[in-house]
């Protein structure tokens, strides 16, 4: 059971509509900060689980969230690597992070 659990892919939908009840009154910067907070929370939770794969669904948009996500991982999570998630499953808008 542990082995199956360890190989399961964790999916995190970073769309503002999935994370927040409403975005009323929030600036784009505040929404991005909230989304990156969710990324940090998830990576901190799984940072010691070698081999864990986490898919962050960010959508394709203009790439602001994706670029911020990649920078965050590159700068603060040296034990993780990133790649585009499966196009077949997620389309263009997802990044897969592997914990090493």
Across the chain, which has 100 residues, the per-10-residue mean pLDDT values are: 61 95 95 97 93 94 95 96 94 94
Domains of the chain listed by start with CATH number? 2-99 (3.30.1370.110)
Structure pTM? Answer: 0.90
Supply the pLDDT for residue 68.
Answer: 97
pLDDT of residue 8: 82
Indicate left, alpha or beta for 25 from its phi (over 0: left) and psi (-120 to 50: alpha).
left
Three-state SS string over 64-97 comes to: HHHHHHHHHHHHHCCCEEEEECCHHHHCCCEEEE
pLDDT at residue number 2? 43
- Distance between CA atoms of residues 70 and 44, nearest Å: 15
């Amino acid at each position: 059971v542990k082995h199956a659990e360890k190989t399961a892919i964790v999916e995190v939908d970073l769309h503002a509509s999935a994370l927040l009840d409403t975005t009323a009154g929030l600036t784009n910067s505040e929404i991005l900060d909230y989304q990156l907070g969710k990324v940090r929370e998830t990576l901190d939770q799984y940072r010691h689980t070698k081999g864990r794969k986490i898919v962050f669904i960010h959508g394709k948009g203009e790439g602001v969230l994706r670029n911020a996500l990649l920078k965050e991982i590159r700068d603060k999570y040296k034990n993780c690597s990133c790649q585009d998630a499966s196009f077949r499953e997620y389309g263009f808008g997802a990044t897969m992070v592997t914990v090493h």
